[in-house]
């Protein structure tokens, strides 16, 4: 249905227009340097948003994302700084824990039939609380592996730097697109979001898919935490507060229906980019408060939810006209 792609095209158009307007005002924004920074600065947000896209397409929600990012950051900082683990080992442990955490939430959602909102809200408090139990301070990470990884980049034409974490985000998006559209798991996710009961009657493994979706979101939140710790060289239990809401915003602005069933991982990338463009604009302007990002994101969200509502109404009216009484 071309209707289905409409929110995505709308987002793409808004992104292009917004970028165009910025460039008109600040020609310097048209450079790979800006692009490189944009990717680096939003890497953790983008990675977490890919997980959120799958969750929302399946008709669920994951509120634990920000807390899991903070928890992994703190855990890595403690493992590396206090116990002398190699960062790669710490990463592995953190990813394993966050994946299990997500899987556990998925299992509760499916087997106990509790709304995802409540389960992941509990998960959010749990992960945030755990980070505070470990430490209440910001722990710096001074390992040489960190400085190596931070200094690695690929110089794009025009002098922009594609950093490891920026590149990682692009890889995750690519992986997400393949997973969504070219695997059985991907079709199961859409099926769940379309109609859980029909999906079950058609033989979709509902239980396994639900657990895997939240495990994936947990894993990607963990990975976002790893990226965030590389980005900031520290672990702090108060970091990434409200990031889950930013990711939800990016997903919805990217054209994914909050009711599930339709959406594109690529749209989420555009959603993240729009948020990044606004931030960059504010930096370039220099006088605006950075909170303007939130205001614009808020306005965009309203606009997109209204657009989706209209589309749903239009298509349901069409379907209603066809259905027998």
Partner 1 sequence: MSTGEALVSAEKIIKSFLGLRVLDGVDFSVRPGEIHALLGENGAGKSTLIKILTGVHQPDGGTIRLRGTPVTVRDTGHAQELGVGTVYQEVNLLPNLSVAENLFIGRQPMRWGLVHRSEMEKRAKALLAQYDIDIDVSADLGRFSVAVQQLVAIARAVDLSGSVLILDEPTASLDRAEVETLFAILRRLRDRGMGIVFITHFLDQVYALCDRITVLRNGKLVGTREAAELPQVELVSMMLGRALAEATHGAEAERRSAPPSSGKRIEFSHYGRARSVAPFDLSIGAGEVVGVAGLLGSGRTETARLLFGLDAPDSGSLTIDGKPAKVLSPRAAVQLGFALCPEDRKTDGIVGDLSVRENIALALQARRGWLRRMPSREQAELADRFVKALDIRTSDIEKPVKFLSGGNQQKVVLARWLATNPRLLILDEPTRGIDVGAHAEIIALINRLCEEGLSLVVISSEIEEITAYSTRIRILRDREHRGELTGAEISPDNIMRAIAAQASASNEGASA
In the set 34, 43, 90, 191, which binds partner 1 (CB under 8 A)? 191
- Residue carrying the six token digits 């998006």: 173
| CA atoms of 162 and 116, how far apart (whole Å) | 36
Give yes or no for residue 308 binding partner 1 (CB under 8 A).
no
From the list 64-72, 188-196, 222-230, 299-307, the region that binds partner 1 by CB under 8 A is: 188-196
Nearer to partner 1, 147 or 198 (CB): 198
Give yes or no for residue 278 binding partner 1 (CB under 8 A).
no
In the set 81, 166, 235, 261, which binds partner 1 (CB under 8 A)? 261
Q: What dihedral do alpha carbons 187, 193, 195, 199 form, nearest 10°? A: 30
Q: Which two structure tokens, joined as six digits, stand for 278?
A: 């606004």
Give yes or no for residue 323 binding partner 1 (CB under 8 A).
yes
Nearer to partner 1, 138 or 187 (CB): 187
Q: Are 91 and 226 in contact (CB under 8 A)?
A: yes
Q: Are 268 and 251 in contact (CB under 8 A)?
A: yes
From the list 84-92, 132-140, 178-186, 287-295, the region that binds partner 1 by CB under 8 A is: 178-186
The DSSP-derived string for 58-85 is TT---TTHHHHHHHHHHHHHHHHHTT--
Q: What dihedral do alpha carbons 132, 138, 144, 149 form, nearest 10°? A: 80
How many residues bind partner 1, per CB under 8 A?
Answer: 31
Give yes or no for residue 174 binding partner 1 (CB under 8 A).
no
Q: Which two structure tokens, joined as six digits, stand for 87?
A: 């960062």
Q: Are 217 and 68 in contact (CB under 8 A)?
A: no
In the set 88, 171, 202, 288, which binds partner 1 (CB under 8 A)? 202
- The least distance separating partner 1 from the CB of residue 182, rounded to whole angstroms, comes to 4
- The least distance separating partner 1 from the CB of residue 14, rounded to whole angstroms, comes to 24
From the list 25-33, 71-79, 82-90, 190-198, the region that binds partner 1 by CB under 8 A is: 190-198
In the set 84, 203, 286, 320, which binds partner 1 (CB under 8 A)? 203
Give yes or no for residue 205 binding partner 1 (CB under 8 A).
yes
Give yes or no for residue 152 binding partner 1 (CB under 8 A).
no
Give yes or no for residue 194 binding partner 1 (CB under 8 A).
yes
* Residue 146: half-sphere exposure toward Cβ, Cα within 13 Å: 23
Give yes or no for residue 188 binding partner 1 (CB under 8 A).
yes
Give yes or no for residue 200 binding partner 1 (CB under 8 A).
yes
Rounded to 5°, angle at Cα 272 from 255 and 162: 140
β partners of residue 234: 140
Give yes or no for residue 148 binding partner 1 (CB under 8 A).
no
| CA atoms of 224 and 279, how far apart (whole Å) | 19
In the set 183, 298, 302, 309, which binds partner 1 (CB under 8 A)? 183
What is the chain's alpha carbon radius of gyration, rounded to the nearest angstrom? 20
Q: How far is CA 185 from CA 27, 209, 221, in A?
A: 44, 7, 19
Residues 1-30 that bind partner 1 (CB under 8 A): 1, 4
What residue ranges bind partner 1 (CB under 8 A)? 1, 4, 178, 181-184, 186-188, 190-191, 193-195, 198-205, 261-262, 315, 319, 322-325
């Amino acid at each position: 249905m071309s209707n289905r792609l409409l929110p995505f095209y709308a987002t793409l158009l808004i992104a292009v227009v917004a970028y165009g307007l910025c460039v008109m005002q600040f020609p310097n924004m048209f450079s790979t340097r800006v692009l490189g920074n944009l990717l680096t600065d939003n890497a953790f947000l983008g990675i977490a948003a890919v997980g959120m896209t799958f969750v929302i397409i399946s008709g669920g929600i994951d509120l634990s994302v920000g807390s899991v990012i903070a928890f992994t950051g703190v855990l890595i900082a403690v493992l590396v700084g206090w116990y002398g683990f190699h960062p790669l080992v710490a990463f592995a442990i953190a990813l394993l824990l966050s994946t299990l955490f997500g899987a556990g939430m998925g299992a509760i959602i499916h087997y106990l039939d509790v709304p995802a909102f409540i389960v992941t809200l509990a998960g959010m408090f749990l992960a945030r609380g755990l980070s505070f139990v470990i430490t209440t301070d910001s722990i710096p990470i001074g390992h040489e592996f960190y400085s190596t990884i931070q200094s690695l980049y690929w110089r794009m034409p025009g002098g922009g730097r594609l950093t490891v974490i920026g590149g990682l985000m692009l890889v995750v998006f690519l992986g997400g697109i393949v997973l969504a559209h070219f695997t059985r798991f991907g079709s199961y996710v859409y099926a769940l979001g379309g109609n859980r009961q029909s999906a079950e009657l058609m033989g979709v493994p509902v239980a396994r898919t639900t657990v895997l979706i939240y495990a994936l979101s947990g894993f990607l939140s963990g990975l976002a935490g790893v990226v965030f710790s590389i980005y900031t060289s520290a672990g702090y239990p108060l970091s990434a507060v409200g990031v889950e809401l930013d990711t939800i915003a990016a997903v919805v602005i990217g054209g994914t229906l909050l009711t599930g069933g339709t959406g594109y991982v690529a749209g989420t990338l555009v959603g993240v980019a729009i948020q990044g463009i606004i931030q960059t604009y504010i930096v370039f302007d220099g006088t605006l408060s950075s909170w303007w990002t939130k205001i614009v994101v808020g306005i965009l969200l309203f606009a997109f939810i209204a657009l989706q509502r209209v589309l749903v109404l239009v298509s349901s009216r069409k379907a209603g006209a066809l259905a027998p009484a």
